[in-house]
Amino acid sequence: MIHSRWRRSRAALAVISAGLVAALVAGCGGTTKDSASEADTGSGTQRSADPNAPIKDGLKIAFLPKEIDNPYENIVDEGGIEAVTELKGTGKEVGPSDASASSQVSYINTLVQQNQDAIVIAANDPNAVAPALKDAMAKDIAVVTYDSDAAADARQVFVNQANSEDIGRKQIQLISEQIGGKGKIAILSATPNATNQNTWIKFMKDELKKPEYADIELVKIAYGDDDDQKSFQETQALLRSIPDLKGIVSPTTVGISAAARYISSSPYKGKVKLTGLGTPNQMRQFIKDGTVEAFALWDPKQLGYLAGYAAAALASGQISGAEGETLKAGKLGEREIGKDGEIILGPPTVFDADNIDQYDF
């Protein structure tokens, strides 16, 4: 089942039949696609770049989130579409109703047939989507990942919200402060194969090795699959199976809001601490009723905006994704492209009762 969003509208976009002629793709590329082809190694990942190349008018850029009804990714994609519109292009959000890689592959194939200039994707699995993304790049379609990366050779640029190490370590610091540096904790993650989740969890585990966390024990990692109901149930199961659990870290906006909803109406409110990554509008009521003390996130709309500019710059030949290049990102200024094509938005913000009303997203 195909699901799509146009800006904030829920109006469905027409499903493009598989019979569209894929060969049209080669003739409708960005301004530097011809020159890029000369440097192509065959994988489609190598492009030439001219920092003075203009952004091509009328670019078609599609945003493919992990799952179409994920509120966080909807906000990210709104920012991306805003950037594309600012650059006189056409942006849209399409995606599956489930957070599976196989569903994303179907959308990638359709977007290739639609002759998009760029695909911006939050991958549900780094490797499962790679063949389809490589096929897109082979047809001169620029590929940008955001939020959750694909295999490095299956995209040109990865727009990361913040340094992964900082995100992972910050969440342990927050839960340690809230439980007094002592007790059992659990992690409520998204899907087992989500690249960003696993990277953050790796740094959480490493942070826990420090002497100041010697009295904190990570006893379980549960997976809610970025599904609200499953995350709710996994929270319930964690608390019932581990009666002396002191805290939960949920580095996913779906997970933390579902966990907060369960805890807020349970006997565990005030006894079990919860932190992680969430949006202020999702978590405001739980901050105000005392269920949650503090959580973190970056501005998701800016993340999408940055990804939109990166996709347009790639499709226009301003950048190739090589380390050391500079991305001009409109109102966000400039960002330098790092190792393996990574562009970082900035450090995460901690939200609590003192500042949450200053944010509206």
Q: What is the CATH number of the domain that holds 108?
A: 3.40.50.2300
pLDDT band at 45 (very low <50, low <70, confident <90, very high): low
Residues 139 and 179 in one domain: no
Q: Is the pLDDT of residue 40 over 80?
A: no
Is 29 domain-assigned?
no
Does position 10 have pLDDT exceeding 80, yes or no?
no
In a domain, 50, yes or no: no
Same domain, 66 and 155: yes
Tell me, yes or no, whether 236 and 136 share the same domain: no
In a domain, 174, yes or no: yes
3-state class percentages of the chain: helix first, strand second, coil last, to nearest 5: 40, 20, 40
Q: Is the pLDDT of residue 312 over 80?
A: yes
- 72 and 197 part of one domain: no
What is the rounded distance in angstroms from the CA atom of residue 26 to the CA atom of residue 131? Answer: 18
3-state secondary structure 264-310: HCCCCCCCCEEEEECCHHHHHHHHHCCCCCEEEECCHHHHHHHHHHH
Contact 176, 65 (CB under 8 A): no
- State what percent of residues in the chain have pLDDT above 90: 78
What is the total count of domains within the chain? 2
**DSSP letter for each residue of 164-178:** HHHHHHHHHHHHHHH
Tens of pLDDT along 161-207? 888 899 999 999 999 999 999 999 999 999 998 888 999 999 999 99
Within a domain: 262: yes
Alpha-helical regions (H) of the chain: 33-39, 71-86, 101-113, 130-138, 164-179, 195-208, 228-241, 253-264, 280-288, 300-316
CB neighbours of 69 closer than 8 A, spacing ≥ 6? 3, 97
**In this structure, is residue 46 part of a structural domain?**
no
Quote the DSSP letter at residue 126. Answer: T
Q: Are residues 311 and 268 in the same domain?
A: no
Does residue 26 lie in a domain region? no
| Cβ atoms of residues 23 and 114 within 8 Å | no
What is the C-alpha to C-alpha distance for residues 343 and 297, in angstroms, rounded to an integer?
17
Give tens-digit pLDDT for 203-248: 999 999 999 999 999 999 999 999 999 999 999 999 999 999 999 9
Is pTM beyond 0.85? Reply is: no
| Structure tokens given for 210 | 């420090």
Are 222 and 276 in the same domain? yes
Domain shared by 155 and 173, yes or no: no
Task: Give domain status of residue 14, yes or no.
Answer: no
**β-pairing, 342-344 with 273-276?**
unpaired
Backbone torsion region of residue 148, taken as left when φ is above 0, otherwise alpha when ψ lies between -120 and 50, otherwise beta: beta
Banded pLDDT at 348 (limits 50, 70, 90)? confident
Q: 150 and 175: one domain?
A: no
Same domain, 197 and 279: yes
Q: Calculate mean pLDDT across residues 100-106.
A: 94
At residue 164, the pLDDT reads 87
The pLDDT value recorded for residue 128 is 96
One domain for residues 125 and 168: no
- Of 266, 291, 121, nearest in space to 194 by CA: 121
Domain boundary among 297, 314, 335: 297
Q: How many CB atoms lie within 10 A of CB 6?
A: 15
Q: Is residue 353 in some structural domain?
A: no
List the domain range (segments joined by +) for residue 188: 164-297
**3-state secondary structure (DSSP) of residue 312:** helix
Q: Which of 104, 139, 126, 124 is nearest to 26 (CA)?
A: 139
Chain CA centroid to CA 120, Å = 10
Same domain, 177 and 280: yes
Q: Are residues 127 and 181 in the same domain?
A: no
Range in 42-46, 75-79, 297-301 the model is least confident about: 42-46
* Contact status, residue 26 vs residue 140, Cβ threshold 8 Å: yes
